[in-house]
């Protein structure tokens, strides 16, 4: 199928938005992976978020060859944070106003995947009208992948999230949160509205940088993850158990201690909490459901969506 045409075989048409900040060393591989897709996007907007390393030149060269790729430049920012990612995605979608599409795909600039990756995920959305956000697991630079015996498939990684357009618009897109967790807040908000969110483990992508290490090392990234857990409302009991599990992974013990320390630091300093009180309460309810199911073989009553429908009592990691 040529880009710029609506997909055949009943698949929804999609657009792709990628925020990129100084990603010239890895973005080339992501572009090759998208160009090789069996179903290409109607349009792919790559938003250079103040890049100074040749990212703009790289995207411009590919845009000359593929007219469905577009570069959008944003002003230089002094610091790198996840709020910038949310703003970059908004800027990209502004350029797509007036285009008729069904799905918004938000893709990081350092991801690769097999040629049928988007065709597979679009097929999942086509087969279930209640799915609002879909994605797959990823392997990062440490070759780690979540063990989905212990991690709920309800959470969809922000490395690549495909939103049904109606879902994206209903939740208002990504929250501008400097500390991160914008992907988790999006999934929680969608489930609160009655949408299903799902990670499909039949496929994986490759994340060519260890998550959270763009600016920090592995221990500091775990500390920051603990702060993000506080920001989105993780229950203290959940966080202690999560930290205990993290202690079993390299670097042993320190990994889990750093996570718990970050959570406690955020609590003591009353760090900003970009997730709304309703989202935080929903998060804790899901976590208590999961713990009850694990330890007692049952869950509390499932949280209710904004439309009054009952949602399965699963939860995110």
Residue 291 lies in a domain: no
User: Is the residue at 312 inside a domain?
Assistant: no
Residue-number span of the structural domain to which 111 is assigned = 14-207
197 and 66 both lie in a single domain:
yes
pLDDT at 312: 37
Domain count along the chain: 2
pLDDT given at position 179: 78
Sheet holding 196-199, edge to edge: 69-74, 44-49, 14-20, 103-107, 160-164, 131-135, 196-199
Are residue 176 and residue 101 in the same domain, yes or no? yes
Q: Assess whether 192 and 228 both reside in one domain.
A: no
279 vs 132, 156, 186, 285, 286, CA distance in Å? Answer: 17, 16, 10, 10, 11
Model pLDDT, residue 313: 34
Same domain, 250 and 145: no
- Predicted confidence at residue 77, as pLDDT, reads 73
Q: What's the confidence (pLDDT) of residue 297?
A: 82
Q: What is the pLDDT of residue 143?
A: 57
pLDDT at residue 180, rounded to an integer: 81
Do 255 and 139 belong to one domain? no
- Is the domain of 36 the same as that of 154? yes
Is 64 domain-assigned? yes
Same domain, 167 and 199: yes
Q: Are 50 and 125 in a shared domain?
A: yes
pLDDT in tens, 69-117: 999 999 887 666 668 899 999 999 999 999 999 999 999 999 999 999 9
Which residue, of 207, 230, 245, is where some domain finishes? 207
Return the closest-CA partner of residue 2 out of 40, 43, 44.
40
Q: What is the pTM of this model?
A: 0.88
Contacts of 136 (CB under 8 A, 6+ apart): 113, 117, 121, 157, 160, 199, 200, 201, 202, 203, 204, 205
Q: What is the 3-state secondary structure (H, E, C) of the chain?
A: CCCCCCCCCCCCCEEEEEEECCCHHHHHHHHHHHHCCCCCCCCEEEEEECCCCCHHHHHHHHHHHCCCEEEEEECCCCCCCHHHHHHHHHHHHHCCCCCCCCEEEEECCCEECCCCHHHHHHHHHHHCCCEEEEECCEECCCCCCCCCCCCCCCCCCCCEEEEEHHHHHHHCCCCCCCCCCHHHHHHHHHHHCCCEEEECCCCCEEECCCCCCCCCCHHHHHHHHHHHHHHCCCCHHHHHHHHHHHCCCCCCCHHHHHHHHHHHHHHHCCCCCCCCHHHHHHHHHHHHHHHHHHHHCCCCCCCECCCCCECCCCCCC
pLDDT value at position 75?
A: 87
Q: What CATH number is given to the structural domain containing 55?
A: 3.90.550.10
How many angstroms separate the Cα of 187 from the Cα of each of 56, 268, 274? 31, 27, 14
Residue-by-residue pLDDT tens, the chain, 317 positions:
445 556 667 899 999 999 999 999 999 999 999 999 999 999 999 999 999 999 999 999 999 999 999 999 998 876 666 688 999 999 999 999 999 999 999 999 999 999 999 999 999 999 999 999 999 999 986 656 666 655 789 999 999 999 999 999 999 999 998 878 999 999 999 999 999 999 999 999 999 876 654 556 889 999 999 999 999 999 999 999 999 999 998 899 999 999 999 999 999 999 999 999 999 999 999 999 999 998 888 654 444 444 444 333 333 34
255 domain residue, yes or no: yes
């Amino acid at each position: 199928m040529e880009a710029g045409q609506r997909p055949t075989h009943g698949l929804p048409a999609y657009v792709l938005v990628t925020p990129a900040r100084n990603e010239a060393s890895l973005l080339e591989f992501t572009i090759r992976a998208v160009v090789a897709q069996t179903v290409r996007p109607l349009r792919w907007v790559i938003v250079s978020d103040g890049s100074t390393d040749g990212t703009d030149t790289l995207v411009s060269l590919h845009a000359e060859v593929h007219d469905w790729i577009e570069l959008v430049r944003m002003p230089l920012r002094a610091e790198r944070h996840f709020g910038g990612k949310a703003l970059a995605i908004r800027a990209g979608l502004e350029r797509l106003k007036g285009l008729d599409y069904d799905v918004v795909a938000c893709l990081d600039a350092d991801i690769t995947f097999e040629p049928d990756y988007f065709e597979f995920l679009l097929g999942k959305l086509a087969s279930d009208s209640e799915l609002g956000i879909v994605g797959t697991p990823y392997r990062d630079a440490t070759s780690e992948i979540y063990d989905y015996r212990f991690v709920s498939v309800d959470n969809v990684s922000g490395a690549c999230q495909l939103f049904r357009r109606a879902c994206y618009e209903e939740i208002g897109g990504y929250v501008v949160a400097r500390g991160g967790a914008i992907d988790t807040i999006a999934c929680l908000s969608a489930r609160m509205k009655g949408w299903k969110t799902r990670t499909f483990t039949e496929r994986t992508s490759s994340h060519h940088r260890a998550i959270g290490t763009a600016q920090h090392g592995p221990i500091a990234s775990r500390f920051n993850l603990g702060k993000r857990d506080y920001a989105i409302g993780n229950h203290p009991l959940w966080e202690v158990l999560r930290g205990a599990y993290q202690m079993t992974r390299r670097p042993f013990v320190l990994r889990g201690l750093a996570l718990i320390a970050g959570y406690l630091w955020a609590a003591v300093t009353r760090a900003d909490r970009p997730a709304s009180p309703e989202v935080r309460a929903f998060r804790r309810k899901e976590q208590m459901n999961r713990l009850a199911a694990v330890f007692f073989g049952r869950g509390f009553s499932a949280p209710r969506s904004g439309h009054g429908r009952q949602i399965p009592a699963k939860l995110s990691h």
